[in-house]
Amino acid sequence: MSEVIQLEEFECEFKDEILDRIPDANFDLCLTCGTCTGGCPASEQFDMDPRKFLRMLLLGMDEEIKSSPWIWVCTMCGRCQSACPMDIAIPKFIYNVRASGPRDKRPKGILGSCDQHIRSGSAMGVPKEDFIFTVEDVADEIRETQPEFKDLKVSVDRENAYMVLNQNSREPVTEPDEMGPLWKILHLVDADWTYPSVMWSGENYCMFLADDEGWRYIMEEFVYHVENNLKSKLVVNTE
């Protein structure tokens, strides 16, 4: 006959380590109700979901957690915590699992995008000069070929614009014409806006990489540019 497993037999070192960073995570309050799983876009990927992953933490399955590829398909969107009746901080849990491994062993695609953003200001590694040229070129084409938008105003680093907009860095590189529809909407509502040339990329892969220093550097450079150089009142992240 199998013996009943006693909870005190489990060693949850990783759980204690994470709780040191996020003491309000509420892990022990899990009811195993599965509500977190219902709206999770990563549920069933790699045969995993938020409920299972949290149970692994509570059962002390530290190495299985750290080696699971599921941590990199979670979007950290927060739906799980929003739905959880006990408000368990699952996204923070995932973030800390990502941060627990060596930086150079994290997914190359996310790592490369993070490093390029730090170096160039965009996740695609586009120099700001190329970004400015593409924006101006596409805007000129719209003005020349679409008479109803002959007065279209598109700018980069225009001081005192009311709004600063970030831009998905893939569009200027692979789909530059896709920037136009948003510009037209802003033109029609007479919005006062500009792009920044510093950290203009809307996506921040350092956040998904769980690179606190890289994430902070990108945001600090962006905020400094907006507040001190552009002097704008509002930031709109199109991502």
For 148-156, what is the mean pLDDT? 97
What pLDDT does residue 239 have?
Answer: 73
Contacts of 52 by beta carbon, 8 Å cutoff, 6+ apart: none
In this prediction, residue 83 carries a pLDDT of 94
Instruction: Judge contact between 30 and 80, C-beta under 8 A.
Output: no
- Provide the pairing of β-strand 234-236 with 193-194: unpaired
- Planar angle of CA 128, 134, 135, nearest 5 degrees: 90
CA-to-CA dists, residue 134 to 106, 129, 173, 223, angstroms: 32, 9, 8, 23
Distance of CA 176 to the CA centre of its chain: 22
Residue 211 CA to residue 239 CA, distance in Å, equals 19
Q: What is the pLDDT of residues 14-65, one digit of tens each?
A: 888 888 888 888 888 999 999 999 989 999 999 999 999 999 999 999 999 9
Comparison of pLDDT for 201 and 6, the residue scoring more: 201
73: tokens are 């398909």
Per residue in 221-238, pLDDT tens?
999 999 999 999 999 998
Whole-number pLDDT of residue 21: 85
Predicted confidence at residue 22, as pLDDT, reads: 85
Q: What is the pLDDT of residue 11?
A: 59
User: pLDDT tens across 160-213, in order?
Assistant: 999 999 999 999 999 999 999 999 999 999 999 999 999 999 999 999 999 999
